[in-house]
Chains A and B, each alone.
Chain A
Amino acid sequence: MTLPVAFFALFFAYPVSAIVARGLKDGGQWQFARVGEVLGDERIGHVLWFTTWQALASTALTLALALPGAYVFARFDFPGKQLLRAVVTVPFVLPTVVVGSAFLALLGRGGLLDELWGMRLDTTVWAILLAHVFFNYAVVVRTVGGLWAQLDPRQEEAARVLGAGRFAAWRRVTLPALAPSVAAAALMVFLFTFTSFGVVQILGGPRYATLEVEIYQQTARLLDLPTAAVLTLVQFVAVAVLLAVHAWTVRRRESALKLVDAAHTSRRPRGAAQWALLASVLTVVALLILVPLVVLVLRSFDGPDGYGLAFYRALASADDNGGTFVVAPLEAIGNSLACALAATGIAVVVGGLAAAALTRRAGRLVRGFDALLMLPLGTSAVTVGFGFLITLDEPPLDLRSSWILVPLAQALVGVPFVVRIMLPVLRAVDARLREAAAVLGASPLRAWREVDLPLVGRALAVAAGFAFAVSLGEFGATVFIARPDNPTLPVAVARLLGRPGELNYGQAMALSTILMLVCAAALLVLERVRTDRSGEF
């Protein structure tokens, strides 16, 4: 408990409160009059309203499209399943600028939809919602699907034998067991879309702004810290309300479940209905996730003289052809992987300890801490980045130009994932199993190793995969941290996109393709090496 609390206090609470305090304090006096002024601004009201409703709509749409996907991934076996599970997570790591560009190619003028049906969705809310689904599909599939795969199907079968209809059995047996992880997934998707930045800017055009965009404007561009501070507080309040609702709906529902090895619960689909379900889910995945990714990959090969490897070759020769790129992309891949590994390590340790502590104890204080851990997801990146800048600036804690700052900032976003994915599973582990082990003479450590770890291993792998993907694609807070010049992949992509000329644009696409491959490969490796011991003997 101490480590997560210390981590959170030092790298989140302290920097963020410092930057807010600097905005609200004027010559030692708290300026609370500003709060009223900012909140009274009609435009801010609009921004707040738009931010909230688009996040709600995005969350609902994501759940509607992704829950069937979670079921299919959990319960069916089909060829290429693992690969596909890695691929749906790929969007998660792509820089929004790149995704925005792919979506414009599909939904914009002269895009695919335009040519087929004369539909144009760019600069509409639909484009924003679809892009949010694209980004967050994996959140639902992986968090809900991960638990679903471990639920014992025999329980539902038992209910059927006792005379319940198919739907009633699902509603009475499976749904209650899944509810906590569905709620957790919905919460994370909401927080992500609530603080959406790039997607809204690119696809919505300048007419739509979220709170996150507004805070960025006020902080990074106008240096209007008071306004930014008020908006940050507004964001906190919104997130706090949300967390309270979430806690209230879930608290009564997390109960011990009978978890089994995922390998036994999935099988080939049977019957026309199941095949149809599988087909429809795969169609959604293909249209929504694969098509945009394919557009990007194709662009990376579409060189100046027809299709070929021209852009990849340009990437390889970093410095000599007119100096378009400062760091060899291979190096950027190495930087990205290294940062992501460090960040994943931090997130898994901190988040794992926090989740364990939250499982063992109950009480108001602990629940409050649980909610606090989610706050980084709902905090604007620029606030965190600038907070680091003004707080971690004196020895012994002058971390501003230290390499550790980047993985730390990324781990802040990773920890909530680890906690949210681990908690439902940890709470579902039946305490009587541990007690039985203890009665049979196992030490607490051994009991944990033999009882908890096999059951939790899968969730741990899923959580680590997320923390890794978050870190690999993270482009928020780290942009605002002055760092020695070894860019991660997303930063390198953004730099290339920011320069004119075909060669730069093509290299950005090539680098994005490499980023996708690195992400998919890393996730596949993670799936392979997880400590999945049950059912192997």
Chain B
Amino acid sequence: MNTTFRRAVGAAVVAALGLPVLAACGGSDDSGSDSKTVTLVSHDSFAASDAVLKEFTRTTGYKVKVLKSGDAGTAVNQAILSKKHPQGDVFFGVDNTLLSRALENDLFTPYEAKGLDRVPKGLQADAAEHRVTPIDFGDICVNYDRAYFADHKLSPPASFDDLIKPEYKNLLVTENAATSSPGLAFQLGTIAKYGDAGWQDYWKKLKANGVEVVDGWEQAYNDRFSGSAAGKKAKGDKPLVVSYASSPPAEVLGVKPLPKEGPTGVATGTCFRQTEFAGLLKGAKNTKGGQALIDFLLGKKFQEDLPLQMFVNPANQDAALPEEFTKFGAKITDPATLAPEKIAKNRDQWVKAWSSLVLK
């Protein structure tokens, strides 16, 4: 008797849970090929508020479907692998360290976006052909823990050269250039600064000065860095970490009232600039919709939504920055950069050389 009841309950539970399965596990099952849907392919960090995406639908009539997979490198490689049958219409999130690989593989159809004139020339990596459109940029820089340097009456480092001085011995934690994109960017920054001839020598000195290498940004920032809230709880003891210029603003998010200055600062002379681009995929099913979406990504509405969604800076100069950025962010006037084709040509050997130099 009792089993029948138990079974009935079990069946009811399973049925009740099972009903929404089709709806919940993957959302709408449309293939996105109708002319009223635009499909945006991106990496896992892509984020936009619902209100902004709805705005796009309201003004253009197109619905946006977002497909995400893996980190930036993985997403680009997936797009390359599936270029015969692209998964969507627009790809967002190819940065300057990956750009050449994407262009060599002929991923994009040229399109000159509306509002490109409001984007600084320095960001326009493909100004001749417009195969990609710059959407945002961010700087990878060394962050420092203000409290540590105040307590030790030590001025925080400001440049790459400072990091190899004895007073900063054993203070820096960075990421594995082979597995982490900020780790790679920091290495590229040193290559831009010291050149092909000098960067390895610099890293030898950095290693002698006790730089610690961990595998990913999460670990470096949340576990080892003493300046981040999470790092404080995890008893992190490294007052210097390779992170983003936008990390200090993020440290004060949700803190009420906003403090006078954030707990962390940026060593402005240690920055490498990364620009993220969007492009219209070759073989897109909905070219018109894709073009409208790229225009929208560069438009003010989306550009002002960007900073607190993805912690990057808008490429469009007309977009106003939120208070967290203007008050706690650092303005990086002279970041290191490298030409995308130079990165593409040398990246693998650079990373190999770095690994055998630093990780051994």
Contact = CB atoms under 8 A, between A and B. Distances in A.
A402 B247 contact: no
> For chain B, which range describes its interface: under 10, 10 to 19, 20 to 34, or 35 or more residues?
35 or more
Interface string B228-254: 111001110100000110110011111
Nearest to A404: B26
Contact of B67 (A334, A401, A480): A401
B197 interface: no
Given A302-B233, A322-B324, A484-B65, A505 B74 contact: no
B217 interface: yes
Interface stretch (B122-130, B290-298, B304-312): B304-312
Interface string A511-532: 0000000000000010011010
Given A394-B85, A500-B250, A505-B229, A480 B179 contact: no
B57 interface: no
A132 interface: no
Interface stretch (B6-14, B107-115, B158-166): B6-14
B18 interface: yes
Interface in A215-243: 217, 219-223
Interface string B203-231: 00000000001111111011100001110
Given A498-B45, A502-B229, A104 B223 contact: yes
A118 interface: no
Contacts of A505: 222, 228-230
Interface string B15-30: 0011011111111110
Given A110-B237, A304-B255, A484-B27, A500 B87 contact: no
A293 B117 CA distance: 53
Given A201-B215, A217-B178, A502-B254, A480 B234 contact: no
B336 to A, nearest CB: 21
Q: Which of A100, A319, A338, A390 has the most CB of B within 10 A?
A: A338
Nearest to B12: A529
A337 interface: yes
B58 to A, nearest CB: 17
B84 to A, nearest CB: 8
Contacts, number: 235
B219 to A, nearest CB: 6
Interface stretch (A80-88, A168-176, A202-210, A363-371): A202-210
Contact of B74 (A105, A220, A323, A497): A220
Nearest to B17: A341
Contact of B216 (A201, A485, A486): A201
A485 B68 contact: yes
A500 B251 contact: yes
Given A337-B17, A484-B65, A304 B254 contact: yes
A435 interface: no
A401 B74 contact: no
A335 B291 CA distance: 31
Contacts of A386: 78, 81
Nearest to B177: A206
Contacts of A140: none
Q: Which of A221, A223, A486, A498 has the most CB of B within 10 A?
A: A221
A500 B311 contact: yes
Q: Which 4 A-B pairs have the closest CB atoms?
A: A403-B26, A529-B10, A502-B229, A110-B235
17 contacts: A104-B234, A108-B234, A201-B179, A206-B179, A213-B179, A219-B77, A220-B77, A221-B74, A299-B233, A326-B48, A335-B25, A398-B85, A403-B29, A479-B74, A480-B78, A502-B230, A529-B7
Interface of B: 2-3, 6-7, 9-10, 13-14, 17-18, 20-29, 31-32, 39, 41, 44-45, 47-51, 65-71, 73-75, 77-78, 80-82, 84-85, 87, 101, 176, 178-179, 213-219, 221-223, 228-230, 233-235, 237, 243-244, 246-247, 250-255, 305, 308-309, 311, 322, 324, 348, 359
